[in-house]
Amino acid sequence: MPKREELITVRIEPKWKERIKTLEKEKIETRSNIVRAALIKYLQKESEIKEIEKVVAKKFASNLISFEELIRIVGYEEARKIAFFVETAKKSFEEGLK
C-alpha cells in the first residue's frame, strides 16, 4: 500500500508568495508542486553539504588541509566547531593513552 502524502502548512512573506504565483504561470505548474520541488531540492542540498562537511572534517583531522582551507570550504563558524571537536578528540585520545 503506497504511503499517503501529508499536508504541511507554512507561513511565507508576501513577496515569496508572489514569486510562487509567477512560477505557477510561467511553468504551468501547481503551487503545491513548485513548493514540494523546492523543498526537496533544499533537503537534498543540505544532505550533500553535511556529507561534504564530514569529508572535509576528516581531512582536517588528518592534517591534510589547513584551518584556512577549512574556513574557505565550510565557513568560519563551522570551521571553529570542527577544529574544537578535532582538538577535543585528540586530547581525549592522548589522555586515554596515559
In a domain, 7, yes or no: no
Residue 3 binned pLDDT confidence (cut-offs 50, 70, 90)? confident
Alpha-carbon span 86 to 62, nearest angstrom: 9
pLDDT given at position 4:
83
In whole angstroms, give the CA distance from residue 73 to residue 71.
5
Evaluate whether residue 3 is within a structural domain.
no
Question: Residue 64: inside a domain, yes or no?
Answer: yes
Query: Is residue 92 a part of any domain in this protein?
Result: yes
Q: What is the pLDDT of residues 45-86, one digit of tens each?
A: 999 999 999 999 999 999 999 999 999 999 999 999 999 999
**Does residue 29 have a pLDDT over 90?**
yes
**What is the residue range of 79's domain?**
14-97
What's the predicted TM-score (pTM) here? 0.70
Tell me, yes or no, whether 88 lies in a domain.
Answer: yes
Q: What's the mean per-residue pLDDT of the chain?
A: 92
